[in-house]
Amino acid sequence: MKLDLCEKLHQTTPLVHCITNYVTVNDCANILLASGVSPIMADDIEEAAEITGICSGLVLNIGTLNQRTIPSMLAAGKQAKALGHPVLLDPVGAGASALRTETAIRIMDEVRPDVIRGNISEIKTLALGSSSTRGVDAAEADAVTEDNLDQVVAWARTLAEKTGAVIVITGAIDIAADAKNAYVIRNGCAMMGRITGSGCMLSAFMGAAVCAKRDNMLEAAAQCLCAMGYAGELAEARRVQLDAGNSTFRDLLIDEIYKMDDRKLTEGAKYEAR
C-alpha cells in the first residue's frame, strides 16, 4: 500500500458535511481543517440534503442522537448516495439504547453507507442486534486481541460483503476490511481513550479520506487509521515532555495531524495486510 493520503487530501481539498455529535463538533471541524480540507455542519431538515449536494462526502455520527436530526441524517444520506458521494456512518453507542440501535440499522438499510466505523461492540450490535456495549465505549468482553484477531478480521470481511461497506473496527488494534481484503493497524496510544472525541474526530477525518481516495476506500480508511494513530503517538510524546494533561493532548493531536505528511506517515505507520 502506497501511503499517499496526505497528498491526496491537499490535492482534492474536499468539503465534508458532518451531521455529528454536538459534544465534539468543534474538534471534528478542527481535525478536518488540520488535514487540509473543509468542514460544514448542517443538521436542520430544511437544509441538510441541500448542503450535502454541494459537498464531496457525508459523515453521519449518532453520538448525540435526537428525533430532530434523524430525518436530517436520512435525507442527507439519501441525497449523498444519489449523487454518488461517499457516506460514512459512525454508530456511536449502538447497543446502549433501542433508539440508537434502531436508527443505526435504519441508516444502514436506507442509506447503504460506504464506510461504517465503530468500536467492536458497536459493530457487533449492527451485525448481530446485540452486544456488550457500555455507553459509548466498547465492553471488555468484546475487545480485539492477538488471540481473536484472525477471527475478527474474517468476521469483518463477512460483514463487509453483507453490507457492501468498508468495515472499520477501532480499539487497541484497528481493523479495516472489505469483502476481500483487510488491514490490521497497530498505531495509537492509551491517551486517545482519555479525551472526549477521538473517535468522532477519526470518523470526520476518515470521511475526508474516502473522498480524497474514492477509488480505494479500504486503503483510504487504513491510511487514515495509521495517520490518526501515529499522530496520537507523537502527541503523547510531546505531552509527556510538557508534563501536561489530557486537554493539552487533544490540542497536540490536532497539531500533529496538521503537521502530518506522507513521508512522516510512511515512517510511522504500523500496518499489515491480511
C-alpha closest to that of 48 among 74, 85, 9, 22: 74
| Residue owning grid cell 444502514 | 108
pLDDT digits (tens, 9 = 90+) for 119-174: 999 999 999 865 445 444 545 567 888 999 999 999 999 999 999 999 999 999 99
Phi then psi for residue 210, to 5 deg, are -70, -20
Strands 87-90, 271-273: parallel, antiparallel or unpaired by DSSP? unpaired
Please check whether residue 221 is in contact with residue 166, taking contact to mean a CB–CB distance below 8 angstroms.
Answer: yes
Number of CB atoms found within 10 A of residue 111's CB? 21
Domain that holds residue 238: 5-273
pLDDT digits (tens, 9 = 90+) for 69-113: 999 999 999 999 999 999 999 999 999 999 999 999 999 999 999
148: CATH: 3.40.1190.20
CA distance 109 to 118: 17
Query: What pLDDT score does 140 carry?
Result: 52
**Residue 160 in grid coordinates:** 463487509
Strands 57-61, 15-19: parallel, antiparallel or unpaired by DSSP? parallel
If 0-12 CB within 10 Å is exposed, 13-18 middle and 19+ buried, where does residue 104 land? Answer: buried
Q: What is the number of domains present in the chain?
A: 1
CA distance 218 to 178: 7
5-12 and 198-212 helices, crossing angle to 10°: 70
Overall pTM > 0.75:
yes
Query: Which amino acid would we find at residue 58?
Result: L
